[in-house]
Amino acid sequence: MSNITLVNARLIDPEQGQVINGSVVVAAGKIAEILLDGTTSKPAAKGKIVDCGGMYLAPGIVDIGVKIGEPGERHKESFRTAGRAAAAGGVTTMVIRADTIPVVDTPEILAFVLNRAREECAVRVHAMAALTKGRHGAEMTEIGFLLDAGAVAFSDGDAVSTNPKALARAFSYACDLGALVISHPQDPGLSAGTAVTSGKFATKLGLPGVSPMAERMGLERDLALVEMTGVRYHADQITTAASLPALARAKAAGLDVTAGVSIHHLTLNEFDVADYRTFFKVKPPLRSEDDRQASVAALSDGLIDIISSMHTPQDEESKRLPYVEAASGAVALETLLPTALRLVHAGQIELPQLFRALSLNPARRLGLPGGRLAVGAPADLVLFDAGAPFVLDRSQLQSKSKNTPFDGQRMEGRVLATFVAGKEIYQRKKLP
């Protein structure tokens, strides 16, 4: 692989928590050297020199929880379109969900999706496998075989088991093998049949609402099982203030627990649903503004570790329905970084800290080598202009499905180029 030197960049280093001006030398797909501006050493300019024009260069995003329509729903999203969307969004590693049709619950299906990813995607793809067969919450999958076949985590996604005994066994078995379990904390009984978060807004719209307490109940149950079994545990989305004390307690008690949050719950609230806008229907439902602010604060404190896009493509037909019947989920691979930058522009989080949550923490949690801007790390990088204004036009998205809640909204910050293993896989416009 040819060498490349990215000069004149503002380097975001999430490990050291700093932004420094300098250059990155890439060789053999890895970061070979980092040169700070002002030091005397000349870049060992072998190969192509790319002038970053003073823009930000950060480790590429590692996105846990991307839904791809393969197998089963390729009309919604394919590996090819998702791969392009990821590249355009600065996502260099997609960790894909198991909630496909059929479910990724055997090594054979896992091999199929990983093959498809290899054929179609320029970004790195890792796969999760289901924790239980068919995501039915009753019998555990072949966790050992699936690990051997490359599964990086085990998750039934939003199909929450109603059988704590089965879950306890799956957690124990996973613990034995050192596997990471990713869970959707939500009490299945309390949330059944609901479409929004309960409260004044739900009442006004006449929509069935779920109490935010359902998330805490789901989390508390999971954490009790984690304490019982010792499994490595990640909560996919913590979105309410009521869950945070339980999470803090578990971490303080030394349990191997991390938590994520979706970008939508950090940047939108329940009022955005407005007049039954189904593109704002996500799982769990958007929360109150108080809960959104609590989630942002928890992210900023490091209590919440990871931001995910929770990219969920849905076609128009499944969204153009009465709110309760409409499908949940939003595409977000391409809007993840611009919307996350809203938090930076609002002064709620610093850039290095943001990339801890977007890149470093998810890579660490999954045991992947990426997410770092350091010598020896894979040269998976995103170059972006943090201040570039634009209005999002959903028809321009690379995703096959265009169900973004941000259509027509003003954004500030845009990906200019994306590199995977030192190879430029996306470029917004010709760099100078």
Q: What is the rounded radius of gyration, in angstroms, for the C-alpha atoms of the chain?
A: 21
First vs last C-alpha separation in the chain: 23
**Closest CB 275 distance from another protein, rounded Å:** 6
- Smallest distance from the beta carbon of 206 to another protein, in angstroms? 3
Among 38, 275, 347, 430, binds another protein (CB under 8 A): 275
Beta carbon of residue 203, minimum distance to another protein (angstroms, whole number): 4
Residues 344-383 that bind another protein (CB under 8 A): none
Residue placing its CB nearer to another protein in the complex, 28 or 274: 274
Q: Does 75 bind another protein (CB under 8 A)?
A: no
Q: Is residue 206 at the binding interface for another protein, with CB under 8 A as the rule?
A: yes
Q: Is there binding between residue 204 and another protein (CB under 8 A)?
A: yes
Is residue 272 at the binding interface for another protein, with CB under 8 A as the rule?
no
Q: How far is the CB of 211 from another protein (least distance, A)?
A: 7
Q: Which residue has the tokens 């799982």?
A: 283
Verify binding: residue 207, another protein, rule CB under 8 A. yes
Q: Cis check for the bond before 102: say yes or no (omega within 30 of 0).
A: yes
- Residue 148's alpha-carbon distances to 110, 124, 152, 155, 370, in angstroms, are 11, 18, 10, 16, 21
H or E stretch at 288: none
Q: State in angstroms the smallest separation of the CB of 190 from another protein.
A: 12
Burial class (CB in 10 A: 0-12, 13-18, 19+), 171: buried
202 touching another protein, by CB under 8 A:
yes
Round to whole Å and give the CA distance between 123 and 120: 9
Task: Judge whether 292 and 263 are in contact, CB under 8 Å.
Answer: no
Based on the shown chain and the rule CB under 8 A, indicate whether residue 41 belongs to the binding site for another protein.
no
List binders of another protein among 210-249 (CB under 8 A). Answer: 211
Q: Least distance (Å) from another protein to the CB of residue 278?
A: 9
Q: How far is the CB of 127 from another protein (least distance, A)?
A: 33
Three-state helix/strand/coil letters over 179-226: CEEEECCCCHHHHCCCCEECCHHHHHHCCCEECCHHHHHHHHHHHHHH
Q: Which residue has the tokens 């939500």?
A: 186
408 contacts another protein (rule: CB under 8 A): no
Return the number of the residue (304 or 326) whose C-beta is nearest another protein: 326
Q: Which is nearer to another protein, 23 or 197 (CB)?
A: 197
Cα 299 from Cα 277, distance rounded (Å)? 27
Cβ proximity to another protein, 288 vs 339, nearer residue: 288
Q: Which residues, in sequence order, are bridge partners of residue 30?
A: 27, 378
Task: Using CB under 8 A, pick the residue from 7, 20, 205, 213 that binds another protein.
Answer: 205
- The smaller minimum CB distance to another protein, of residues 275 and 429, is found at 275
Distance, CA of 352 to CA of 330 (rounded, Å): 26
Residue 309 tokens, joined: 């896009």
> Minimum distance between the CB of residue 101 and another protein, rounded to whole angstroms?
19
Q: Which is nearer to another protein, 60 or 209 (CB)?
A: 209
H-assigned helices in 56-127 = 79-89, 107-120
Q: How far apart are CA 36 and CA 7, in angstroms?
A: 10
3-state secondary structure of 241: helix
d(C-alpha 341, C-alpha 339), whole Å: 5
* 325-344 binders of another protein (CB under 8 A): 325
∠ CA 129-132-133, nearest 5°, is 90
Q: How far is the CB of 234 from another protein (least distance, A)?
A: 30
Which of 36, 45, 228, 321 contacts another protein by CB under 8 A? 321
Instruction: Decide if residue 279 touches another protein (CB under 8 A).
Output: no
Of 193 and 254, which CB lies nearer to another protein in the complex structure?
193
Judged by CB under 8 A, the residue of 38, 41, 193, 254 near another protein is 193
Residues that bind another protein (CB under 8 A): 193, 198-209, 211, 275-276, 317, 320-325
